[in-house]
Amino acid sequence: MKMGRLNALHKRLEAIQKDEGPTALKQAEELAAIEDPSDEEAQDLTAANLLLEELKAEQDSVKAKIAAEKRRHELAAAFEPVPPPAGATGLQVIATHDQDPTRFASLGEQLMAVYASSVPGAVADPRLHAAASGLQTSVGADGGVLVQTEFADELFRHAHETGLLASRCRPITAGANANRIKIPAVDETSRANGSRWGGVVVYMEGEAEQYTKSKPTFTKLELSLGKMTGLAYATDEMLEDHVAMESIINDAFAEEFGFKMDDQIFRGTGAGQWLGFMNAAAKVTVAKEGSQAAATIVANNVLKMFARMPARLRANAVWLINQDAEPQLPTMTIGDKPVYLPPTGLEGTGVGSLLGRPVIPVEHAETLGTEGDISFVNLGEYVIYEKGQMKTATSIHVRFEFGEQAFRFTMRNDGKPRWKSALTPYKGAGALSPFVTLAVRS
């Protein structure tokens, strides 16, 4: 009995060593659990149990190594360059078949290699241990080519200011079920007698004389919601390999919407788009000086432009200029007094002033010497009718067969000046307007 049981146990242990599987291990454990063995049998069984524990530990170690190696292969496969899908039209992962095999293609790939090397039993990526063999890192031939380039999550991009004009306009929000608005307004185009409030007149009458009638007249400002849209596609690989890409797309389109709105406020034609103040009937254009040189702005220009802004609107008016016009401003004087004051550290605004009003350089201003290179405007007299903020939506279905995700951006809005024409003053020859420009100087 004793020899038979021990021989059977040893056979089972040999089976385990030959990796016959968990069944053999279970049978060996059952044999090792025989009750009431003799002393000699107990010693043999104790030795067998110790051997079983060693085999179990070895088996666990092998399993861990197999799992680590499998994970390493999965990670490596995840970073294989993938050619763009046929017909792809959006942002795509750039295949790196010709990439230097000693370097990582991205920060994400480098971090995944670090993670893979930390798995028990894994083989570390050799690119993590590239050793310098030269004297310095700044010279490629002296070992600099072996220094891994760092990858940063920050995206360097040009800094632009957009939404400078829209934020100064008068907003009106559309109702839940509305897409058009008609705003009643007094039909006043002149301050001459009989024209104020569109026709209201007050008379000095004698005692017992009949009153003379008059009445105001009205018009309406009508705005209809149009649609401002943006659309982008990004491949699944791009979104997976660059977690910040969705945020980048959102930021890019938000900035572009701000730029587009400002451009509409400035020069929209009113045909299928907003009506910009440059094309509005209410705009007033100041003529250049008789002997004025081409592509210049002189003190008399800004003095006359200032005089054409209604006095009550000057407090919130601003100068919009092309940056090419900025060198012209510090040279302006009236006698020995400067017309322009540059930004000062005490004010901390970073904005200069012309005749006491802020000067704002904007991309939308025209080239120096062209009408619109400098304008004096009160944008509180410009109305933006909008239905909420910009709406964003994403879909994996639109370009599903190409492995792309769609990003859609929409705004519903309209905009135009609330003045339908310039205003003739009570006394004086020059028409007044909240939108004043300087004529061409060429």
The predicted-structure confidence for 53-78, as pLDDT tens digits, reads as follows 666 766 666 666 666 566 555 545 54
Q: For 361-384, what is each residue's pLDDT tens digit?
A: 999 999 999 999 999 999 999 999
Please write the tens of the pLDDT for every residue from 420-432.
Answer: 999 999 999 899 9
Q: Is residue 158 part of a domain?
A: no
Average pLDDT over residues 382-394: 89
Q: Is pLDDT of 35 > 50?
A: no
Residues 6+ apart with CB under 8 A from 179: 224, 225, 387, 412
Helices assigned H by DSSP within 184-283: 236-241, 245-267
pLDDT reported for residue 45: 58
DSSP state of 243: T
- Top-confidence residue, 180 or 240: 180
Are 17 and 87 part of one and the same domain? no
Cα gap 37→47, rounded to integer Å: 13
> Is 161 among the domain residues?
no
At which of 46, 72, 98 does a domain end? 72
Integer Cα distance of 12 and 22 in angstroms: 11
Averaged pLDDT for residues 179-201: 93
Q: Is 23 helix (H, G, I), strand (E, B) or coil?
A: helix
Domain harbouring 215, CATH code: 3.30.2400.10
| Residue 131 lies in domain | 79-152
316 pLDDT higher than 90:
yes
What are the phi and psi torsion angles at 315 (to 5°)? -60, -30
Tokens of 326: 């900025």
Say if CB 334 and CB 299 are below 8 A apart. yes
Is residue 27 pLDDT above 80, yes or no? no
177 belongs to a structural domain: yes
**Digit-coded pLDDT (tens) for 245-264:** 777 888 888 899 999 999 99
Residues 296, 415, single domain; the answer is: yes
| Mean pLDDT for the stretch of residues 348-372 | 91
- What's the order of all strands across the beta sheet hosting 284-286? 284-286, 435-438, 374-377, 318-321, 357-361, 353-354, 340-341
d(CA 63, CA 65) in angstroms, rounded, equals 5
Task: pLDDT band for 92, please (50, 70, 90 cuts).
Answer: very low
Please choose, from the candidates 268, 172, 265, 278, the residue with its C-alpha nearest in 3D space to the C-alpha of residue 225.
Answer: 172
Task: Tell me, yes or no, whether 84 and 63 share the same domain.
Answer: no
The answer to whether residue 348 sits within a structural domain is: yes
**Torsion angle of alpha carbons 253, 256, 258, 259, nearest 10°?**
180
* Between 101 and 71, residue with greater pLDDT: 101
| 232 plus 308 within the same structural domain | yes
Q: Are residues 196 and 141 in the same domain?
A: no
**Residue after which a domain boundary falls, among 72, 105, 133:** 72
Q: Tell whether 307 and 390 lie within a shared domain.
A: yes
Looking at per-residue pLDDT, the higher value among 24 and 267 belongs to: 267
This prediction's pTM? 0.65
Q: Which of 100, 124, 152 finishes a domain?
A: 152
| Same domain, residue pair 394 and 289 | yes
pLDDT band at residue 390 using 50, 70 and 90 as cut-offs: confident
Same domain as 143, residue 67:
no
- 432 with 359, same domain: the answer is yes
> How many domains does the chain divide into?
3
